[in-house]
Structure 1
Amino acid sequence: MNIKQLYQHFKECNGISTDTRNIENNSLFFALKGNNFNGNHFARQALEAGAKYCVVDEEKYALDSRYLVVENVLKSLQNLATFHRNELAIPIIALTGSNGKTTTKELTNAVLSTKFKTTATLGNLNNHIGVPLTLLQMTDATEIGIVEMGANHPVEITFLCTIAHPDYGLITNFGKAHLEGFGSIEGVIKAKSELYDYLKANHKTIFVNENDPLQIKQTLNYDKVFKFGLRTSTDTMLEMVNTQPYVTLSYNGSEIKSKLTGSYNFNNIAVAIAVGSYFKVESDDIKNAIEAYTPTNNRSQILKKGSNTIIMDAYNANPTSMMAALENFEQLVQAKKVVFLGDMFELGATAEIEHQAIVDYLEQNKLGKTYLIGKNFYKTTVKHPSLQKFESFDALKSHLQNHEIKDAFLLIKGSRGMALERILELL
């Protein structure tokens, strides 16, 4: 079946489904394969659950005309997404970066949706499957699409660009994330800059933070750049007003008071303002959108639990984001501070060095009682008694049962696999 025929079937359906546990009625089901599953096995079940058609790549599962046989289901999903994107012919904004992608995407969507009908990546569905699914959620009513792109190996961003064909793009930052796949910070810069390379080659527009020397360096000698930052020479000028406990900034003569903590979130907010400015969103609408945005899902949230106040930033972590969180926490004026840090994953051969660097910083800056959780932190050398190591979450749990924490200001930070939100149940 060719892509035009598949597209006609797609237009008959209400959307895309890839999981029989969440089948939408009258949807187009894609029988994707993984290391431990074969979606073709569930094609019949998908139809029984309400799907209109099933896309399969093994003919033995095609029992009637409702089964659409293709050479490769995943490739067909990706090709269909590109075909649909080109048929819509709307502006697509792509964003990537080591930290802050999802928060920046949500802030940008909040700003643009005050003026346009937008469709943005749900959650962090930002890989070779998530990007096509985002594009296929867009409808004839969509005026601007916002696509988050993630990567942990070289050439992934290039590939995602060939699917989404973005017209605009931005990189939140270059940090020490996924070093296992990228090899080094230089590898990170090169891989993330694949977005710049695509946009430049196709004469598209880049949004650049003029206060980030790496971004400036990577976009030299390119004229289709919209700059933002603290300098008067930028296209959108911003000013940092305060970061305690929330980020407040000045834009176009007005103060914007966000619900985001941490100076590192200034840049995330700045992106959303810059994009809104470029697309001629009214200043008051930008202000209202930023101020109304409330972080969720363990991303820079400030929570209350009993007598304790908590900065919950445990959605993910890498050396750059963890250091930024610690530096911000150090600046906060609080009588009693407690830090919970979980292992940082996907660091490869650098894991030992990077975890020890965090410990060395903590011993020099004394942020208060600090709990280090996980096998990587357990291997570090700790000298100061304020730092305590636990090889597992269960070991931490046993300790806290006999050591209650009260009237404290807490920072909780770690990689997703550590699931440190469980600490809330222990307080």
Structure 2
Amino acid sequence: MKKLVETLNETFNNSFEVDDISKVEIDSRNIKEGDLFFAINNGKNYIAEVLEKKASFVICDDQKWSGNKKVLVVEDTVKAMQLLAKNYRKKLKIKIVGITGSEGKTTTKDIIHGVLSSKYQTKKTLGNHNNHIGLPLTILNLQEDDEFGVIEMGMSNKGEIPVLCDIAGIDYGVITNIGDSHLEFMINRDNVFAEKSQIKNYIDSDKLFLFGDDVYLKNLKGNKIGFNLENNFIIRNYKETPNGVDFILNNKNYSFKLNGKHNCINASMGVAIGLSLGLTSSEIQKGLDLVNVTSMRFQKIEKNGTLYINDAYNASPVSMKASLETFDNIDFSKKKLAILADMGEMGSDEIKFHQEVLEYALKTKIDTFILMGSRMKEAMKSFNDERLIYCDTKDEIKKLISTSYKDNVILLKGSNFNHLWKII
């Protein structure tokens, strides 16, 4: 990464004793010889350790390291990282696709990465590195010969999307939808839309891709994808299969390995971008087949003869209902059990949102629901239905499954802080 070394010297007006950088790290445990380490938060406690591991360079805000030729001391490590990433991105010929929205960002990122990888050398955000630290880390680890980068852009407060767009220097943009995520900080959907839609200010409308059926997004200028006939890319003949979804987009047949109408929409976003960038339908389908989906997104796991569907990376009212709808529509020829846990960052109306999810759940044909978490416990009081069972802990749920429900197909859905995956 010679250009990164060049950018490092130019950004901080210095001539550092660095020949090359292998990769950029913020976790001292992952440091290998030749890495650049940003000592963020308590990372400053591990500077001596990473230098022993032969890190090429360290950037920190701890004055006691002043004078060390392998360490640059700055006023703010995170801001230094963002500035370096912004300057490095300007030196790269890569095209960046920035993805935001309330739900489906990570899966859509994985899909677009898979589609573009069928023709181009493409990198993507790893895991959930989508904030003011994770995004610049992703940018700094791009290689000079990469052709496309697919970057996830998350937010929880106002003003964050413009910062991320500015650092990433996006060429294409995607807004998956506008939902009820982060209402603890954003108060209402109008504010969520106002923030997410800031992405439109950084690209031309012909390079913006939107879910056109969304009540907020349908009036934005851009390439609209959805089921309504007013969209530029129209989804038809959506069908659930045991292996995922089949659908037609602009008169061509496609299939994708994840179940759910929401995943059909996510896949259609990837198809639309692929078509717009000149890929053939066969190249796009090849990319869809090779998509490496991030775990805990409607992930099917067989364990001790029981089929679990782990959709518990995160949760909002929209994604909860989508997951329940998908689970309800698939024919597994077995009884179905849904384990539903609390949703976070729902704001002052959090109990109302949990009640709405339970009301929706009870309209499905799903046989049983096990609930966990204080919000679900409170919301459950509004219903008198024997299909609802409450458990205080995951151990209680495991015991209940082993005694009464091990022959069921089991869906797990809730915000990540519940750690529902531990049940499996």
What's the TM-score, normalizing by structure 1? 0.90
Per the alignment, residue 215 of structure 1 pairs with: 217
- Superposed counterparts of 1:171-320, under 5 Å: 171-199=175-203, 205-217=207-219, 219=220, 222=221, 225-230=222-227, 234-245=231-242, 246-251=244-249, 253-293=251-291, 295-320=293-318
Q: Does 1:3 align with 2:11?
A: yes
Q: What letter is aligned with 1:363?
A: L
3-state DSSP class of the match of 1:410?
Answer: strand
CA deviation after TM superposition for structure 1 residue 366, in Å: 5.0
Q: Which of 51, 74, 81 lines up with 1:70 in the alignment?
A: 74
Aligned residues: CA RMSD: 2.3
Deviations 1:285-334 (A, max 9, x none): 10121123353411111233344333221111111100111122222334
Is the contact made by 1:414 and 1:420 (CA closer than 8 Å) also made in structure 2? Answer: yes
Per the alignment, residue 55 of structure 2 pairs with: 51
Is the contact made by 1:210 and 1:228 (CA closer than 8 Å) also made in structure 2? Answer: yes
CA–CA distance in 1 between the matches of 2:388 and 2:25? Answer: 47
Q: What letter is aligned with 2:226?
A: G
Q: Does 1:28 align with 2:30?
A: no
Is the contact made by 1:261 and 1:301 (CA closer than 8 Å) also made in structure 2? Answer: no
CA–CA distance in 2 between the matches of 1:272 and 1:93? Answer: 11
Is the contact made by 1:6 and 1:80 (CA closer than 8 Å) also made in structure 2? Answer: no
Is the contact made by 2:114 and 2:292 (CA closer than 8 Å) also made in structure 1? Answer: no
CA–CA distance in 2 between the matches of 1:19 and 1:241? Answer: 43
Per the alignment, residue 423 of structure 1 pairs with: 423
CA deviation after TM superposition for structure 1 residue 118, in Å: 1.2
CA–CA distance in 1 between the matches of 2:190 and 2:122? Answer: 34
Deviations 1:21-74 (A, max 9, x none): 1102111111112xxx2x333222211112011112233223521111222211
Q: Larger deviation: 238-247 or 258-267?
A: 238-247
CA deviation after TM superposition for structure 1 residue 420, in Å: 0.9
Per the alignment, residue 394 of structure 2 pairs with: 393
CA–CA distance in 2 between the matches of 1:6 and 1:320? Answer: 50
CA–CA distance in 1 between the matches of 2:270 and 2:262? Answer: 14
Cα distance change on mapping 1:294 and 1:166 into 2, 3 Å: closer
Per the alignment, residue 340 of structure 2 pairs with: 341
CA deviation after TM superposition for structure 1 residue 400, in Å: 3.8
Per the alignment, residue 378 of structure 1 pairs with: 377
Q: What letter is aligned with 2:323?
A: A
CA deviation after TM superposition for structure 1 residue 355, in Å: 1.1
CA–CA distance in 2 between the matches of 1:394 and 1:40? Answer: 38
Q: What letter is aligned with 1:3?
A: T
Is the contact made by 1:82 and 1:164 (CA closer than 8 Å) also made in structure 2? Answer: yes
Q: Larger deviation: 326-335 or 177-186?
A: 326-335
Is the contact made by 2:18 and 2:56 (CA closer than 8 Å) also made in structure 1? Answer: no
Per the alignment, residue 3 of structure 2 pairs with: none
Per the alignment, residue 356 of structure 2 pairs with: 357
Q: Where does the alignment leave 5 or more consecutive residues of structure 1 unmatched?
A: none
Deviations 1:343-399 (A, max 9, x none): 111112121111122222233445211100111111221311110112332333444
3-state DSSP class of the match of 1:228?
Answer: strand
Q: What letter is aligned with 2:217?
A: Q
CA–CA distance in 1 between the matches of 2:123 and 2:52? Answer: 29
CA deviation after TM superposition for structure 1 residue 17, in Å: 1.8
Is the contact made by 2:65 and 2:73 (CA closer than 8 Å) also made in structure 1? Answer: no
Q: What letter is aligned with 1:14?
A: S
CA–CA distance in 2 between the matches of 1:17 and 1:179? Answer: 32
CA–CA distance in 2 between the matches of 1:101 and 1:272? Answer: 12
Per the alignment, residue 410 of structure 1 pairs with: 410
3-state DSSP class of the match of 1:12?
Answer: coil
Q: What letter is aligned with 1:371?
A: I
Q: What letter is aligned with 2:22?
A: N
Is the contact made by 1:315 and 1:415 (CA closer than 8 Å) also made in structure 2? Answer: yes
3-state DSSP class of the match of 1:247?
Answer: strand
Q: Which of 106, 127, 132 lines up with 1:128 in the alignment?
A: 132
Cα distance change on mapping 1:11 and 1:280 into 2, 3 Å: farther
Q: What letter is aligned with 1:249?
A: F
Deviations 1:86-127 (A, max 9, x none): 011432110011111111001100110111111211111000
CA–CA distance in 1 between the matches of 2:17 and 2:137? Answer: 16
Runs of 4+ in structure 1 off by over 6 angstroms are 6-11
CA–CA distance in 1 between the matches of 2:83 and 2:189? Answer: 32
What's the TM-score, normalizing by structure 2? 0.90
Q: Which of 323, 328, 331 lines up with 2:329 in the alignment?
A: 331
CA deviation after TM superposition for structure 1 residue 129, in Å: 0.6
Cα distance change on mapping 1:287 and 1:103 into 2, 3 Å: same
3-state DSSP class of the match of 2:307?
Answer: strand
Say how many residue pairs are matched: 412
Q: Larger deviation: 404-413 or 116-125?
A: 404-413
CA deviation after TM superposition for structure 1 residue 173, in Å: 0.8
